[in-house]
Amino acid sequence: MPITVRAAACEDVPGLVRLRLANAERHVQLDPSVYRLPDVQAVRRHFEEVLSAESKVLIFVAEAAGEVVGMVEVVILPDPLDHQILAPCSAAEIHTVVLDGHRGQGVGTALLAAAEQAAAEHGVSITYAGIFAPNKEAVRFYSSAGFGPRGTLLSKKQGGTQAG
């Protein structure tokens, strides 16, 4: 089935909400202490705002047979502040979601290619995909696309218990 990737538009908001909620459900199954199901109206407002204004978030959708089956968000990050030790580097976070039933068919790969091209067009020199270790499917997907480790994210819940 042919896949079409294009910039998201306001009429895609219902599909984007569906994707965000499906992604949340999958993540809650991984670890309900880390993930939650967001409020549907808050998700809708987020996408409406991002798509109707000048934004540092670029969103692309993948369509198969006229249905939105995947999305990728490219969140362009600000350069480190002058007082920080990180060297200035134009960076972006990438978040990819593909509906169950459409995985393994090239949808994620097509979305990631569009995201990387858009990031490059916006002067981004490095992209990040923040993934929690239990999400082995996402680790495998991004690793196969050339992403590799860059540091370690450690966390600690206040009160002395370690976060997962």
Q: What is the pLDDT of residues 153-164, one digit of tens each?
A: 787 888 855 555
Q: Which pTM does this prediction carry? A: 0.88
In sequence order, what are the residues at sequence separation of 6 or more whose Cβ sits closer than 8 angstroms to the Cβ of residue 126?
89, 90, 91, 92
- Asked if residue 158 is part of any domain, the answer here is no
The reply to whether 152 falls in a domain is no
Residue numbers of the domain that contains 135: 3-144
Residue 59 structure tokens: 């969103």
13: tokens are: 């908001």
The per-residue pLDDT for range 68-112, each reduced to its tens digit, is: 999 999 999 988 878 888 888 899 999 999 999 999 999 999 999
27-53 pLDDT, tens per residue? 999 999 889 999 999 999 999 999 998
First to last CA, the chain: 38
Residue 43 within any structural domain of the chain: yes
CATH number at residue 76: 3.40.630.30
Count of domains in the chain?
A: 1
Tell me whether residue 155 is in a domain. Answer: no
Q: What is the mean pLDDT of residues 115-127?
A: 95
Q: Is 71 exposed, middle or buried (0-12, 13-18, 19+ CB in 10 A)?
A: buried
Judge whether 153 lies within some domain: no
